[in-house]
Structure 1
Amino acid sequence: MWAILGTALSFSGALAFYLASPHQRLLASAWPGSTRGGALGCLALAVLAWLQALPALTAVLAMSLLLMCVWTALPFLGLYCGRSAQ
């Protein structure tokens, strides 16, 4: 249960950080910069959820791996949807 919550919060925080970036390619325009505060809150709650599910080092590594995968896949998803750099 905690691992699922940690995964969902990590994914939503990573997605919010990406969508608030001015160089994102998923939407026509970036979300406002204040979204980064909410994304940071999601990631802070995700760390707490991961710490409930796993030992400390394993929790940090699992969350880091998930963030790397999401932040690697999102730019390619933007290219796949047809929004290339102008």
Structure 2
Amino acid sequence: MTDETDLDLSGLKCPLPVLRTARALRGLPAGARLRVTCTDPMAAIDIPNLVRETGDHLDATERAGPHLRFTIRRGAAGGAG
């Protein structure tokens, strides 16, 4: 599946980036990709932990200045989230 969704969470503080990422993931079909952009430094810890808990896949993590970008692929079973 090649569905891709962008989620810009720049400016939001913990816990909002991880909560909104979790909600966005729940709405995606298996195999879809979610690209999340954040500025909250805690997202570097929180989003990878979320992905581990839900059974989804963290395909990439990038940092560009204050921005963190995560590319997440929804798990085949739709995750546990």
TM-score, with length taken from structure 1: 0.37
| Bigger proportion of residues as helix | 1
Higher strand share: 2
